[in-house]
Chain A
Amino acid sequence: MKLSIQINEGPYNHEASNTALNFARAALDAGHEIFRVFFYHDGVNNGTRYTTPPQDDRNIIQSWTDLAKEKELDLVVCVAAAQRRGIVDEGEQQRNGKDGNNIADGFRISGLGQLIEAGIQSDRLVVFGD
């Protein structure tokens, strides 16, 4: 089956991203396809490469980056939510005159249409949030 995931919260405040990651791994192990992981609301904060979590605990953002690379996942950070919260790629940096960018590897910034498309194209949409 084609599954898509929507994540509404950031990497650490809520369990959402952790649950979604474990769910995604289990789905892939069972042979399903993850069509897209869409990060909305504070979920866009999963897309920064500047976190330094303690060594003895999970590194959620690195885990998403690694899983995306290993399984060729499409990790999409919503552009409108990202602009509000300061998650920036090179294109957004130039468009909005910022002095840097912080998007993590494996993530891309795109519009809300990507979430709607995920709903249309997937067999299941699973939402993780607060």
Chain B
Amino acid sequence: MSDIKKFMYVNRKAPYGTIYAWESLEVVLIGAAFEQDVSLAFIDDGVYQLVKGQNTKELGIKNFSPTYTALGDYDIKKIYVEKESLEARGLTVEDLMPLKWEDENEDYAEKDSIHVVPAKELAGILDDSDVLLNF
């Protein structure tokens, strides 16, 4: 049995214009079963994937944004959003879906999964990962 590795899923593309956002999420969901140490990073246009209020009805494309809110159920709680990428796009954390997870060590208290971090800090987090997946 291998040691647990730190998997980092890097997302840098906007949703719907290409399929990368959705298909990368599919990897995350399958990967959750492998009990590794999972983090997600949203950088550049990737931050747009987390914007709330997505409505794809008139496009006829499946709205997959609800899947992000389910990540907490898969014990995925380290979702890093780069502060500089948000600010460059005129966004704040208030524009994003409020992703949560339940901490079973604290009576299932609901906590935020999204951590807005400056580039310097995210650089360290990326550097600390073992496997970096990009889409």
Contacts and interface: CB of A to CB of B under 8 A. Distances in A.
Touching in the complex, A and B, CB below 8 A?
yes
Interface of A: 6, 8, 40-41, 80-81, 111-113, 115-117, 119-121, 125, 127, 129
Interface stretch (B22-30, B52-60, B94-102): B22-30
B31 interface: yes
B105 interface: no
Interface of B: 2, 5, 7, 19-20, 23, 26-27, 30-31, 33-34, 36, 131-135
A127 B131 contact: no
Given A6-B133, A8-B135, A125-B132, A111 B30 contact: yes
Given A116-B7, A120-B131, 18 more contacts: A111-B30, A112-B26, A112-B30, A112-B31, A113-B33, A113-B34, A115-B27, A116-B27, A116-B34, A116-B36, A117-B34, A119-B5, A119-B131, A119-B133, A120-B34, A125-B133, A127-B132, A129-B135
B91 to A, nearest CB: 24
